[in-house]
Amino acid sequence: MESPKIERALISVSDRLGLADFARALVDLGVQIFSTGGTRRFLEHHQIPVQDVSAYTGFPEILEGRVKTLHPRVFAGILARRNRTDDMQTLSHCEIVPFELVVVNLYPFEATINRPGTSELEAIEQIDIGGPSLVRAAAKNHHFVTIATAPEQYSSILDELRTYGHTTLELRRRLAVEAFERTADYDRAIATYFRRQFSEQAFPSVQTIVLRKKADLRYGENPHQAAALYYDTAARGASLVSARQLHGKELSYNNLLDLDAGLQLVRSFPQPACVVIKHTNPCGAAMADTLVEATRRAFEGDPQSAFGSVVAFNRTVDAATAEWLSQPGWFVEAMVAPDYEAAAIGILTTRPRWRENVRLLQIGPLDDPRVERQYRHIQGGMLVQESDHLPDIPSQWKTVTLAAVPPELGPDLEFAWMVVRHVKSNAIVVAKDRMLRGCGAGQMSRVDAVEIALRKAGPAAQGAVLASDAFFPFPDSIEKAAQAGIAAIVQPGGSRRDDEVIAACNHHGIPMVFTGRRHFRH
């Protein structure tokens, strides 16, 4: 099928980035441009020859611009099949000109609804009608029509026009796919907005998630698995996907999973904090008055596991922290922080071993993006749940033992509880002086998780606190905690054997607090 020469282009855009140069290049290639409203005025301002669509159709723009391009002379010119004699005869009979190029990007609905204080009426006026119709018509007829929906596509179109005198079917097919993806994304944003405005249904009957590819990854969890990184078009706030990489080779699939786990945990700390992650679980975590002190304590909690880890910070990485990290014996795969001092970047990117390998990610202010829904793929479908983002309020916790929690252990219990909710179940955390001393993660038996956490903590378990992400089904874990010298325990409660567990704590004089909220993390 012969590719048609582009003689006419219909242009109607909201995002005018690069438009003047693109349109001027089209005119230089002999393309006649038709346009509407604000786009036409923009082109005229840049002294680019343009035909008014209303003059062509013989019908004015009406309803304050709600109706501009919705006319048979426009859509027939886009949808006519150039290899059909009857189609082309119809165009000739009705004095309709064909359009071989359609350039449309849509009203900024997403940007409008994300602007604070936007009213429902303002949102409604940013629902594009003619734009998606033009896009879909051109994409449907991509055998003969080229559709551009984003400024970054202009260069590919011009390259082919200059090389071949027309666009290739391969390019038109790719642009058509991107066009349908854009209209699907746009409709999803509108539907989501109105569902949140008017529907009381927590989980809609149809769930649409629109993802756009950001990058191909070297491989997935293992070298034989292909992988890619996508971003959620509805996501807002600071995230790894929007982070800026300042140094180092590209991130791997596993790096991203670990960094995300660290970021989720470190966000929860109110003071300078460092989190060390291995296989999505914290092997080190600490809060302190300074970032360098928090970092030192986080790494020294489990130095063996910390080698080859990823690290997350909740404060700007300063030179002192960078100096401590780059000393002999430590090595991390990647780190993420709100920002880095220039001196810290210099230290981390010039020291032997670090300069070639470490990836530095700058995420910006750690505002909480508050993910409302979590999605987990299972064979044949998807699990969707509300995110576990509700804050834990220590003033609402209940001491259930005869012994009260000594005031000096309160901060450690709160710290341990912040950490354990980010550890894979079954999860046990041992903490002391706002520092993770031992972690038992992802065990099939809770008592096994207790044994691992206590073994990791070693002598530091004496006088430390212990946190459990779910209730203790039996008092055996309390016995082991008592033998190790644990000074206080925090857990959700809710077991049928709570009385036995409480009795064991009373027997050993260990105060125990019930939070009333479980934090399973499968």
Which amino acid, one-letter code, is at 475? P
What pLDDT, in 10s, does the model give residues 430-475? 999 999 999 999 999 999 999 999 999 999 999 999 999 999 999 9
Cβ partners under 8 Å of residue 345, min gap 6 = 246, 247, 322, 360
CA dihedral 314, 384, 126, 129 (to 10 degrees): 150
Q: Residues in the chain, how many?
A: 522
Rounded CA gap, 165 and 103, in Å?
A: 18
Rounded CA gap, 387 and 468, in Å?
A: 20
Q: What share of the chain is helix, strand, coil (3-state, %, to 5)?
A: 40, 20, 40
Rounded CA gap, 10 and 100, in Å?
A: 8
Average per-residue pLDDT in the chain? 90
Rounded CA gap, 76 and 96, in Å?
A: 7
Q: What is the pLDDT of residue 131?
A: 86
Q: Record the tokens describing residue 83, joined without a space.
A: 């290899």
Low-confidence ranges of the chain (pLDDT < 50): none
Nearest to 376 by CA among 364, 388, 365: 388
Element (H, E) at 229: strand 227-232
Nearest to 231 by CA among 220, 216, 241: 241
Q: Record the tokens describing residue 66, joined without a space.
A: 């709600």
Cβ partners under 8 Å of residue 230, min gap 6 = 211, 212, 213, 214
For residues 34 and 53, the answer to whether their CB atoms sit within 8 Å is: yes
Of 140, 143, 166, 480, the active-site residue reads: 140
Q: Is 68 a catalytic residue?
A: no
DSSP E strands, 36-132: 51-52, 101-104
Q: What is the pLDDT of residue 355?
A: 65
- What's the number of CA atoms in the CB half-sphere (13 Å) around residue 498? 16
pTM as predicted? 0.77
The answer to whether the Cα torsion of 242, 245, 251, 257 is positive or negative is negative
Q: What is the pLDDT of residue 397?
A: 96
Of 46, 279, 480, 508, the active-site residue reads: 279
Q: Give start and end residues of each alpha helix (H) in 267-308.
A: 291-301, 303-306
For residues 299 and 306, the answer to whether their CB atoms sit within 8 Å is: yes
Q: What is the pLDDT of residue 1?
A: 63
- What domains are there in the chain, each with its CATH number? 8-198 (3.40.50.1380), 241-362 (3.40.140.20), 396-514 (3.40.140.20)
Please report how the helices 169-198 and 154-164 are oriented relative to each other, as an axis angle in degrees rounded to 10. Answer: 160
Nearest to 479 by CA among 456, 506, 497: 506
Rounded CA gap, 91 and 73, in Å?
A: 9
Q: What is the pLDDT of residue 82?
A: 86
For residues 503 and 402, the answer to whether their CB atoms sit within 8 Å is: no
What pLDDT, in 10s, does the model give residues 293-326? 999 999 999 999 988 899 999 999 999 999 999 8
Main-chain dihedrals φ then ψ at residue 367, nearest 5 degrees: -65, 145
Rounded CA gap, 516 and 384, in Å?
A: 23
Rounded CA gap, 509 and 152, in Å?
A: 68
Helix (H, G, I), strand (E, B) or coil at 395: helix
Q: What is the pLDDT of residue 200?
A: 67
Q: What is the pLDDT of residue 368?
A: 66
Rounded CA gap, 291 and 238, in Å?
A: 20
First vs last C-alpha separation in the chain: 54
For residues 69 and 134, the answer to whether their CB atoms sit within 8 Å is: yes
Q: Is 140 a catalytic residue?
A: yes
